[in-house]
Amino acid sequence: MPVQDECLARCDEFEQLLNEADEKWRLLQVRLEEAEENFLEDKLDSLKKWFGLDEAELMNYNVGSLRHSIRDRLQRIIVGPLSEKMNQRVGVVLSEEQEAGSTDNTPVKTNLIEDLHLPALLRKANLIEDLLKYWEIRVKPLVGEAKSDVEKLQKKIRKTEKDETKQGVIALNGDTKKVAALKRQRPAIWESTQTVLEKLMTPMKRVQTFFSDEMAQESVDCLIGSVPAIVSRAICDYYFQRCTIDLDQLENWWKNTKQTLQGKANIWEKLKEQEPRLLRNVEKGLEDLCSGRHRYNMYATFGGSEIEVLRELSSQKLEESVTLLANVVSEMHKRLRMIRDSALWRIIDSAQGIHKELKAEAANVEAWPTVGVEEGVLALAEAIGCPTEEASPSQASGLAMGEEDLCDAALTVMGRLEKLVGLSMDIKEYFEKLVPSGSAGVSAVMDAVVVKVSEVKEELLCLLDDPSPVSLRIWLEQWAAISEADRGQQIETIMTALPLKKDNELPTETRKVRRRWLALLRGVQVLLSQEAIRVWAITPLGEAQPGSPASWKPPSEAEAGPVQEVDAEDLILEGTPPSPRGVLLAPPGGGLPYRPPERQSLLGDEGRVDQGVAGVPMANQSLRPETPSTTCEDAAEMRPDNSGSRPATPGKFVDGAYVSLRPNSASMRLPPISTVTPIAPSSLAKPKKAS
């Protein structure tokens, strides 16, 4: 057969083979999409019942969406491995030039497309498309060029024959020398085309063999039959991943919130009394969700990998496996919503209500009796500089000191007494401003304290002049006499009768300032009435007695009582229960994510929709049920007759997204926690029958 005819026949054969292979490959993808569409359409009602799935979500192909996750799983388990097999069997060949140059027995492998010098920009999708593009870019132009050269040569031959005939040059046998020489150029024209076609011979045979073995009708039917298992697993994995993220967030939030509430002993105890069942349900619900997470891993044995798909194809228990797995995910999905959107918010509302009650109870009492002895003494120690740490055992008292040490101690005590005089005058001035008409008694006592302490301070000069134990004993007796300034517990009687406002009637800052001055006054009262405190105030001149405040510690929050515990304006918890977040999946490898053309609605009556292009959000925004304690609008704004001071707000922003409010949402109550476990339909794994 002439070279030209052989090359043309081989070109037709190769082109037909590539077109048939490309058609089979595209037909596989079309059948996969049809099987996916049919399965989702058939099971749409079940998916809505199980996961609250919206039909619009199935038309969203953006990265991170449910449909993208399904399509990515099909590509990864069916199309990807099949394309990889084709690349291994067809796309990697041995180059003759490299084999000849190899010095060892290791075969040198090189990519066919690189061997054929296909531009890198054209290497996309799969090997068949690459070969077709190479055929269109390299082979067909080469064949066309060869045909054109042959036609030009043929014209030249005819012209030469015509010219020689006119000149009378006639060959006795066959062609003339010029014509024969021209005809011998024909094989050279097809030489480059023949070389390329011979190089394609082996790959084309491998393509034919591959499609005969791997893309036979029976094999393709098996792959299409695995679509329900893969899609079911992809849907379950998608919602399970979202549930796992939500569960981790809720566990962390509840752990920190519970720790905060337990730190408020009164609030936690009352909360356990008022909402015992609710707390048990939350703890039990989180425990069941963790158990469901482990059960999911036990049941997830189908449709997740190529091996699992091959194993399930020969198994009759696929329907049962899908049912078990979907039951676990559906239960987790619904339980998370109940805990996040109902139970935790009710706990927050109850805790805040208890906090307000305790704060009101603590603030609705007389202020003076709530100031304790320790609080007053420690406030006094901070004001005049008394020691609040136990003295070293080796530190001597005034009677055992030398003259120089005794003088130093006397100077230290003199500084404290000066501060005590100033403090007494400040207390008098504060109460005269606080209660102008009833502060005479407090002023009189503070004046007496100033006089007594000033006298004792002057006597310290005598001790400095004669630093001896005798002089110290005389001064200690004079110091003990300052108790006469509060003879008959005058301060307690005066403060009990003083008309002070209750804490709940004062602003927060004013209440805190008043409590500080009450604590200082309590400290002065204890100093005047208790000998151990008086001795402690002049250490080291006096020897500390048992029960000295030097070993006292500031009261902790748990020991401070209800007034300190609810002193804050609001109970501060760690944010609010976290809202569910969309699961953002990584784009599939090997190129851009799949973006389908405009498609019809699954139910066929919603018109043409392409929500991937329209930019539908990738995740649902689950909101807390609107209750009076969480809605951002006032009650007047939410009245049906719009009689409030401002017009009713049509919606609000939640997590950055605008949400329309439901009618009469301000009057809705939170639903009770349901313990009913959803029962999954048993037909999820059944593919739709072909019509």
How high does pLDDT run on average in the chain?
Answer: 74
pLDDT (average), residues 405-415: 87
Q: Is the pTM of this model over 0.75?
A: no
Residue 226 clears pLDDT 50, i.e. is over it: yes
Q: What is the structure's pLDDT at 639?
A: 40
Q: What is the structure's pLDDT at 627?
A: 39
**Lowest-pLDDT range of 147-161, 347-361, 626-640:** 626-640
Tokens in use for 136? 């269109």
**Lowest-pLDDT range of 336-340, 448-452, 628-632, 676-680:** 628-632
Q: What is the structure's pLDDT at 590?
A: 40
* Contact in structure between 329 and 680 (CB atoms under 8 Å): no
Name, of 241-250, 562-571, 651-660, the range with top average pLDDT.
Answer: 241-250
Beta bridge partners of residue 608, listed in sequence order: 600
Residue scoring higher pLDDT (471 or 569): 471
Tokens in use for 553? 């510690």
Q: What is the structure's pLDDT at 553?
A: 52
* Domain regions of the chain by residue span: 3-223, 225-361+575-667, 389-551
Task: For residue 653, give the 3-state DSSP assignment.
Answer: strand
- For residue 528, report the phi and psi dihedrals to the nearest 5 degrees: -75, -25
Buried b (16+ CB within 10 A) or exposed e, 122-150: eeeebbbbbbbbbbeebbeebbeebbeee
Return the DSSP state at 652: E
Beta bridge partners of residue 658, listed in sequence order: 653
pLDDT (average), residues 419-436: 91
Residue 558 clears pLDDT 50, i.e. is over it: no
The sign one gets for the Cα dihedral 36, 42, 48, 54 is: positive
Q: Inter-axis angle of helices 306-313 and 227-263, to 10 degrees?
A: 120
Q: Cα separation of 227 and 233, whole Å?
A: 10
Q: What is the pLDDT of residues 634-688, one digit of tens each?
A: 333 334 444 443 344 445 445 545 455 444 444 444 444 333 344 344 444 444 4
Identify which of 401, 368, 373, 369 has the alpha carbon closest to the alpha carbon of residue 532.
Answer: 373
Q: Cis omega before residue 119 (within 30°)?
A: no
Contacts of 456 (CB under 8 A, 6+ apart): 417, 475, 478, 479, 481, 482
What count of other Cβ atoms lies within 10 Å of the Cβ of residue 688? 14
Q: What Rg do the C-alpha atoms of the chain give, in angstroms?
A: 47
Residue scoring higher pLDDT (387 or 5): 5
Task: For residue 109, give the 3-state DSSP assignment.
Answer: strand
Identify which of 406, 410, 399 has the alpha carbon closest to the alpha carbon of residue 460.
Answer: 410
pLDDT confidence bin for 13, thresholds 50/70/90: very high
pLDDT (average), residues 571-600: 48
Q: What is the structure's pLDDT at 545?
A: 65
Q: What angle do CA 503, 505, 506 make, to 5 degrees?
A: 70
**Lowest-pLDDT range of 142-146, 305-309, 648-652, 673-677:** 673-677
Residue 110 clears pLDDT 80, i.e. is over it: no
Residue 322 buriedness (CB in 10 A; 0-12 / 13-18 / 19+): buried
Contacts of 193 (CB under 8 A, 6+ apart): 7, 139, 142, 143, 146
pLDDT confidence bin for 548, thresholds 50/70/90: low
* Contact in structure between 30 and 221 (CB atoms under 8 Å): no
- For residue 651, report the phi and psi dihedrals to the nearest 5 degrees: -170, -170
* Contact in structure between 361 and 562 (CB atoms under 8 Å): yes
Residue 396 clears pLDDT 70, i.e. is over it: no
The string of DSSP codes covering 473-485 is HHHHHHHHGGGGG
Q: Which amino acid is at 79?
A: V
pLDDT (average), residues 452-471: 87
pLDDT confidence bin for 516, thresholds 50/70/90: very high
Give, in order, the Cα–Cα distances in Å from 342 to each of 248, 269, 346, 671, 677: 18, 21, 6, 7, 17
Q: Which residue has the tokens 């009057």?
A: 667
Buried b (16+ CB within 10 A) or exposed e, 231-266: bbbbbbbbbbebbbebbebbeebbeebeebbeebeb
Q: Cα separation of 586 and 430, whole Å?
A: 68
Q: Cα separation of 277 and 268, whole Å?
A: 14
Return the DSSP state at 47: H
Return the DSSP state at 654: E
Tokens in use for 161? 């024959």
Buried b (16+ CB within 10 A) or exposed e, 618-645: bbeebbbebbeeebebeeebbeeeeeee
Q: What is the structure's pLDDT at 489?
A: 87
pLDDT (average), residues 468-488: 87
Q: Cα separation of 220 and 78, whole Å?
A: 10
Tokens in use for 580? 């569910």
Residue 154 clears pLDDT 50, i.e. is over it: yes
Length of the chain: 691
Residue scoring higher pLDDT (68 or 690): 68
pLDDT confidence bin for 34, thresholds 50/70/90: very high
Q: For a pLDDT cut of 90, what percent of the chain falls above it?
A: 11
Tokens in use for 411? 């100077």
Three-state SS string over 170-187 comes to CCCCCCCHHHHHHHCCHH
Contacts of 196 (CB under 8 A, 6+ apart): 116, 138, 139, 142
CB-side neighbour CA atoms (13 Å) of 619: 19
Q: What is the structure's pLDDT at 575?
A: 57
Tokens in use for 562? 């209800």
Residue 427 clears pLDDT 90, i.e. is over it: yes
Number of helices (H) and strands (E) in the chain: give both, helices first: 27, 6
List Cβ<8 Å contacts ≥24 apart for 318-323: 318/228, 318/229, 318/685, 319/682, 319/683, 319/684, 319/685, 319/686, 321/685, 322/229, 322/232, 322/233, 322/236, 322/684, 322/685, 323/680, 323/681, 323/682, 323/684, 323/685
